[in-house]
Amino acid sequence: MQLTRAVALAAALALPARAWADPQPDDGASSDRRATASLTVYSDDDHMTVTSPRAGAEARASDRVLIDVDANADIISGASIDVVSEASPSPIRETRLAAGLGATVDLSRTVSGRARALVSHESDYRSVGILLGGAWDLARRNTTVDVELAARTDRVGNSTDPTMSEPRDGETLTVSLTQAMGPMTFVDVVVDGSRDHGFLESAYRTVPIYDPLTPDTMRVSEEVPDRRLSLAGLARVRRALTRHLFVHADYRYYADNWSIGSHTVSATLVAEPLDRVRIGASGRYYRQSAADFYQARYDLVDGAAPALRTRDRRLGRMSSETANLTVDVALTGASPDDGLRLSLSAVAIRFSWPDFPAQTRRNALALTLGAVSAF
Amino acid sequence: MTALLRTAALALLAAALLGGCLRVQPYQRETLAHPGMRAAQWPALQRSSQHIDEVREGSRGATGHAGGGCGCN
């Protein structure tokens, strides 16, 4: 039902006939068409490798309408303890395919609307989503307010049980405000509220329950609450230090009704050492508290398993540190938004889960090669 | 959660009110329009990194951004 309502709203927003019937003069966008392609390879010391090709394109359908499309895949192979049970130590192979189609409509010189549909498919999980948004430039374009509503409906399956098809749905409302604080500085404030409901467990994960009086252990399916409400807020400053050196710094706070709270701080330095070369270096630190029902070990209580139990390490205490280096080179084109650009990005991440006995640390490396062509 | 919601609303209100006091003129916006000032420097690369964070961490959201308000067009 939520999705049906969202589709109807999307149709109403994405098809404003006025936008085609009353075109305004071109605002001077540098390119009408843009194509992007990237390949990311993620590998970690938990024997997981994910190869993710991605391609996208956008083009102006008229002076006021921009259409965009993209497709991507995650080709997963590995033997992580997250997905391989003790009884079956064989590695997994899986492919997730996703695609999106969107439109952005300039409703006036200062107001735009956008709609986007997303689908994702893998052998045991399907997802359909819709996103509606709008942006308003205020105060002579010194202020931008952006509102976005996203809704999705998923079906969770299990490759060993063809009859399983459990619903999992979610809605997210995001309000963003960007303010120019002077000729060298932007400040962004983003507030994001989400609701997830339905089958929020993993279809595969089981939890060992220990009998404190005997050496016996039994394994039962994971059980978590079927509703999760979360709120996140971000504050960011973007400042030019010189004409060719920029710094971005942000802080994000997150809280949900499962008692998880998290803090994220990150900073990025962007430099242009040469005319056609842009380099970005960033660092990120993330720390979260555990869900109130998360335990490193669950024991029988009065002879029964606890009603809520999980072995999902993401619901326990954790932290991560990320370092990223990106080099971007313009091969052709007279301006930053024209021609062909190539970029290479390396990301190193260290995850720590102090309350997850099976594995307390993991190191990962992700390399991305990307190309953007505007013409 | 309620305290966070109140703080977030206050932050949005304060930022909106600040917008009424600060006016950057069009001829002062060359630096604001520079690609180095964009919130999403390399969108495709950042989507991949964000995807990894979402898969590995217990929280998500509030990673987006508004358009920038530089009035460059």
Q: What is the largest CA-CA distance in chain A?
A: 79
The yes-or-no verdict on residue A72 having pLDDT over 90 is yes
What backbone torsions phi and psi does residue B22 show, to the nearest 5 degrees?
Answer: -105, 125
Q: How confident is the model at residue A26 (pLDDT cuts 50, 70, 90)?
A: very low
Residue of chain B nearest A317, judged by CA positions: B58
Residue A9 belongs to some domain of the structure: yes
Say if the Cβ atoms of A137 and B71 lie within 8 Å.
yes
pLDDT > 90: percent of chain A: 72
Q: What is d(CA A137, CA A143) in angstroms, rounded to the nearest whole number?
A: 6
Nearest to B69 among A178, A193, A262 (CB): A178
Q: How confident is the model at residue A103 (pLDDT cuts 50, 70, 90)?
A: very high
pTM of the model: 0.85
| pLDDT at position B8 | 64
Q: What is d(CA B71, CA B65) in angstroms, rounded to the nearest whole number?
A: 16
Q: Which of A44-48, A213-217, A347-351 has the highest mean pLDDT?
A: A347-351
A82 against A100, higher pLDDT: A100
Answer for the pair A366, B47: CB distance below 8 angstroms, yes or no. Answer: no
Q: What is d(CA A236, CA B23) in angstroms, rounded to the nearest whole number?
A: 19
A215 against A20, higher pLDDT: A215
The yes-or-no verdict on residue A9 having pLDDT over 50 is no
| pLDDT at position A87 | 39
Q: Which of A262-271, B17-26, B59-68 has the highest mean pLDDT?
A: A262-271
Kindly report the number of other CB atoms within 10 A of residue A118's CB atom: 17
A298-299 and A318-330: which strand pairing? unpaired
The yes-or-no verdict on residue A54 having pLDDT over 70 is yes
Nearest to A232 among B35, B61, B66 (CB): B61
Q: How many domains does chain A have?
A: 1
Residue A81 belongs to some domain of the structure: no
Q: In 3-state terms, what secondary structure has residue A87?
A: coil
Q: How confident is the model at residue B65 (pLDDT cuts 50, 70, 90)?
A: low
**Interchain contact B53–A (C-beta under 8 A):** yes
- Closest CA relative to residue A64, chosen from A122, A25, A9, A8: A25
Asked which of A5-9, A354-358, B18-22 is least confident by mean pLDDT, the reply is A5-9
**Interchain contact B2–A (C-beta under 8 A):** no
- Name residue A51's beta-bridge partners: A41, A75
> Which CATH number belongs to the domain containing residue A331 in this structure?
2.40.160
Q: What angle do CA A112, A115, A117 make, to 5 degrees?
A: 160
A125-138 and A277-288: which strand pairing? unpaired
**Interchain contact B10–A (C-beta under 8 A):** no
The yes-or-no verdict on residue A163 having pLDDT over 80 is yes
Q: How confident is the model at residue A141 (pLDDT cuts 50, 70, 90)?
A: confident
A217-221 and A227-242: which strand pairing? unpaired
pLDDT > 90: percent of chain B: 3
Say if the Cβ atoms of A175 and B69 lie within 8 Å.
no
pLDDT, tens digit, 9 for 90 and up, residues A280-291: 999 999 999 999
Tokens describing residue A29? 């966008």
Tokens describing residue A296? 């490193």
Nearest to A189 among B12, B42, B53 (CB): B12
DSSP B32-53: TTSGGG-S-SSHHHHHHHHHHH
The yes-or-no verdict on residue A10 having pLDDT over 50 is no
Tokens describing residue A166? 């459990």
A357 against A120, higher pLDDT: A120
- Closest CA relative to residue A73, chosen from A55, A90, A93, A87: A55
| pLDDT at position B5 | 64
pLDDT > 70: percent of chain A: 88
| pLDDT at position B46 | 80
Tokens describing residue A161? 């049980």
Say if the Cβ atoms of B8 and A364 lie within 8 Å.
no
**Interchain contact B50–A (C-beta under 8 A):** no
- The C-alpha of B8 sits at a distance from chain A's nearest C-alpha, in angstroms, of 6
Asked which of A17-21, A251-255, A343-347, A360-364 is least confident by mean pLDDT, the reply is A17-21
| pLDDT at position A118 | 95
**Interchain contact B17–A (C-beta under 8 A):** no
Q: In 3-state terms, what secondary structure has residue B11?
A: helix
Residue A368 belongs to some domain of the structure: yes
Average pLDDT, chain A: 87
B-chain residues within 8 Å CB-CB of A255? 1, 4
**Interchain contact B66–A (C-beta under 8 A):** yes
Nearest to A187 among B5, B15, B51 (CB): B15
Say if the Cβ atoms of A288 and B58 lie within 8 Å.
yes
Q: In 3-state terms, what secondary structure has residue B1?
A: coil
| pLDDT at position B17 | 62
Say if the Cβ atoms of A254 and B60 lie within 8 Å.
yes
Mean pLDDT confidence for A25-45: 77
Q: What is d(CA A294, CA A320) in angstroms, rounded to the nearest whole number?
A: 19
8-state DSSP, A123: T
Q: What is d(CA A2, CA A5) in angstroms, rounded to the nearest whole number?
A: 5
- The C-alpha of B10 sits at a distance from chain A's nearest C-alpha, in angstroms, of 11
**Interchain contact B21–A (C-beta under 8 A):** no
B-chain residues within 8 Å CB-CB of A275? none
B-chain residues within 8 Å CB-CB of A34? none
| pLDDT at position A12 | 40
Q: What is d(CA B42, CA A336) in angstroms, rounded to the nearest whole number?
A: 12
The yes-or-no verdict on residue A219 having pLDDT over 70 is yes
Residue A92 belongs to some domain of the structure: no
CA atoms within 13 A on the CB side of A372: 20
Residue of chain B nearest A110, judged by CA positions: B71
DSSP A9-71: HHHHHH--HHHHHSPPPP---S-SEEEEEEEEEEEETTSEEEEEEEEEEEEESSSSEEEEEEE
Interface pTM, i.e. ipTM: 0.77
Residue A29 belongs to some domain of the structure: no
How far is the CA of A71 from the CAs of A54, A67, A125, A293, in angstroms? 6, 14, 17, 37
Across the A:B interface, residue pairs with CB atoms under 8 Å apart total 234
How far is the CA of A60 from the CAs of A49, A95, B22, B73, in angstroms? 37, 32, 33, 16
Side chain identity at A105, as an amino acid letter?
V
Answer for the pair A85, A206: CB distance below 8 angstroms, yes or no. Answer: yes
Asked which of A78-87, A132-141, A260-269, A331-340 is least confident by mean pLDDT, the reply is A78-87
| Residues ≥6 apart with Cβ < 8 Å to A354 | A316, A317, A318, A360
A121 against B60, higher pLDDT: A121
Mean pLDDT confidence for A343-348: 95
Say if the Cβ atoms of B52 and A280 lie within 8 Å.
no
B-chain residues within 8 Å CB-CB of A182? 22, 24
| pLDDT at position A6 | 42
| pLDDT at position A27 | 37
Question: What's the distance, Cα to Cα, between the start and end of chain A in Å?
Answer: 41
| Domain, as residue range, for A316 | 2-21+100-374
Residue A212 belongs to some domain of the structure: yes
Asked which of A105-114, A293-302, B9-18 is least confident by mean pLDDT, the reply is B9-18
Average pLDDT, chain B: 73
Mean pLDDT confidence for A49-70: 95
- The C-alpha of B50 sits at a distance from chain A's nearest C-alpha, in angstroms, of 11
Residue of chain B nearest A267, judged by CA positions: B39
- Closest CA relative to residue A16, chosen from A150, A118, A115: A115
User: What strand order describes the sheet that includes A217-221?
Assistant: A217-221, A206-210, A298-299
8-state DSSP, A110: S
Asked which of A206-210, B26-30, B65-69 is least confident by mean pLDDT, the reply is B65-69
Residue A30 belongs to some domain of the structure: no
Q: What is d(CA A98, CA A76) in angstroms, rounded to the nearest whole number?
A: 14
Say if the Cβ atoms of B44 and A255 lie within 8 Å.
no
- The C-alpha of B70 sits at a distance from chain A's nearest C-alpha, in angstroms, of 6
